Structure 1
Amino acid sequence: MENSTALHQVAGEAPLLTIEDVRAAADRLNGAIIRTPTLHSRTLSEITGANIWLKFENQQFTAAYKERGALNALLALTEEQRQRGVIAASAGNHSQGLSYHGTRLGVPVTIVMPRTTPHVKVMQTQSVGGKVVQEGENFDQAYAHARKLEKELGLTFVHPFDDPTVAAGQGTVALEMLEDVPELDVLAIPIGGGGLATGMGVTARAIKPGIGLIGVEAELFPSMYNRLKGTNLPCGGDTLAEGIAVFEPGQLTSVALADLLDDLVLVDEASIETALALLLQIEKTVVEGAGAAGLAAVMNNREIFAGKNVGIILSGGNIDTRLLANVLLRDLARQGRLARLRIFLQDRPGSLYRVMHEFNAHNVNIIEISHQRIFTHLPAKGLVTDIECEARDREQLNALIQALRGKGYTVSQVELD
């Protein structure tokens, strides 16, 4: 794709976003947001074959980069607009940033969220002063309702991504990254509506024209991918990366990213889960699904990033604790450290004891046992036993399974979907 250093609404018109806008935003935001660190990850570099640098935007007060664009937009309001208040539609992070800084500046903030928004994001938005209205099953339905309320209540709409002022604020992420690590060769940037990638792309291209820009979308929501590549992939589903789950990307951002991006890749749910778990286990940092998308892309597209200095933005850390626990347990299952084995037994005294002996001999810990005698196709004297267990690694688990089969047991492993 062609390179560009400015966001244009129509080819030939004056740019709607330039590096000067981003630098001006950085001056306005100075002291009001956290200048998050950009740190090298030795272990992730060894795992991926690239030289990985992480931008910890999950360390912002509201745990996401969205504060930057939201605050920049608030500071651009007229006094009358401030008095009336603002409204936005958001899956969570934009709403928290807007609510926090709006409250701090004395600007009333109303947020329309989809009913599917994780409860943690609703609570966090309310806790920093935002008034939450839940409407619709996805962002687009919430967006339509917010636009309706904008007109009815005379509020100023602050778009989460398709706004040059918001994108300028998001561009300060790249400004800081390249100030801290000027040797970066490529940036892996999560894309939902495209505001972050647009702001960062315009900034990075102006500072370092030859830098690589790789956009990353969730495979279930390839809306920008479809628009830029002319595909018609299905869009929708329960993605872990709800922060970038957008059916319709921005109009302005689509134009900009068509010129800015070198490529746009998709990451599946298992890859996002694995990346999220790695960041917690290795970097001891919590990210949400969208925040893990960049690392997932690097791990899935090694040929693009191999040997390069790669900047990855950990865009947010707002994830429901129960969901986080599920992701971590599922990751252990993929590694073979947790498993559910289905074993067919004869319903006779001592049958389960003999199976337990094999678990003990292989030092595999039993977590839970369940029997099924009624709802089974086995003869009346047969039963199915499901045993959830914990092993050191997949090799140890496989050795147990082979030993059980060697003793004549029919054993299968219940796999993740």
Structure 2
Amino acid sequence: MAGDGQTAVLDTAWAQIPHSPQATAGIGSFTRSRVERIISLVAGGLGSVIVGLQAFLTALGSTDERPGWHAGLMISVFGSLAVMILACVIGRGVRAAAGVFAFVYVLALVAWPIATAGVPPDALDEPWIWYLLNLATLAAVLAFPFPLQIVWTILAPVLFGLVRLVQVGFAQEYWVAVGLDVSFALILGGVILTLGWLFRSMAVNVDETRARAVASYAKAAAADAAEQERVAVAALMHDSVLAALIAAERAGTPRERTLAATMAREALTRLANTEQDAHEGTDEPWDAAAVAAAIAEAASELGVDVDVQRDIDPHGTPIPGRVARALALAATQAVANAVQHAGGAGLGVAVTAVGGRVRVEVHDAGEGFDLEAVPDDRLGIRASIVARVAAVGGKADLETGPHGTVVRLDWQEPPA
């Protein structure tokens, strides 16, 4: 129950932060996801279209490659680039598409000396494949982790310089031009790499700050809720329990004592129901099988499947409705405690009904706890189990230790 309350507080806090229709990330990646989307749209979409179009127009008139290689290189390089641009625009599969283009481009560079073997270059101008050099760096920024981005930023320009020199037979008149091309590509690639790292780092810092703020809000809201709970319990104790005690003290006749006992029972029931919006309800009788079914259903709502063991006399005495509900609610609280504090280890429930006696036993294989160390404002055991069962004339016993915890709820039909 405490875990559910904390989750609800976090959800409330997160709801205070504005969301856009594209918001799908959680608290920890709210800004990072938007930065990634901006990078993919602006750089991977618009920027790649402009540079890619320039390279494509240059490639259409290229005579650097041997017959049969030109079309194959253009289809593989520009095809993978088009897929990357499409992925960046629609925001789906960006990493995969960018990674494919980065690898295809490097493979195209490796194949470039073979594709251009025996074909003398027309001039000192850069071939069309050079125009896509920094798009390979951008693809690495979109697809790879930071160390691999650094490798790609250096690898692609150096590899281009090498294959370009191989193409021209290491002619001296090309050394300066190729050196300038490689230097320019390294500088521009470093700028792209740095900007990507900078924006992502800023986004991560913003997300961490946001998460701390939400956690602080949740902590304050939880403290406020606990304080309100204490105030409500104090008011309940004053208005109901104290009134019942005063009535019991002043009772002088059998009727007055009966009325005082009724007041005390109702006060204990209200106290037991403080953490759940449950009421005493009618007294229509239940059978023990219905109690077992109610416990199993409640446990299922808590997210655990419990095989409730039944040892029930089919001809047993029916159980008053308020008693049955109290036993079921108390057993449900015991199950919730076992799930929360013992992780549901060894969780089991047994319902025994023979004659006019009903026993519900909930056990787990957790590490146990010190009942005296439980804060006074926690009502999970004292009110939701002990007081709830006592309010209907039953008894709750609890055994806990290193080997687990056992909660026994007993109710005996009063003699006629």
TM range (shorter): under 0.3
- TM-score, normalised to structure 2, is 0.24
Identify, as 1 or 2, the structure richer in strand: 1
- TM-score, normalised to structure 1, is 0.24
Larger Rg: 2
Structure number with greater CO (CA < 8 Å, separation at least 6) is: 1
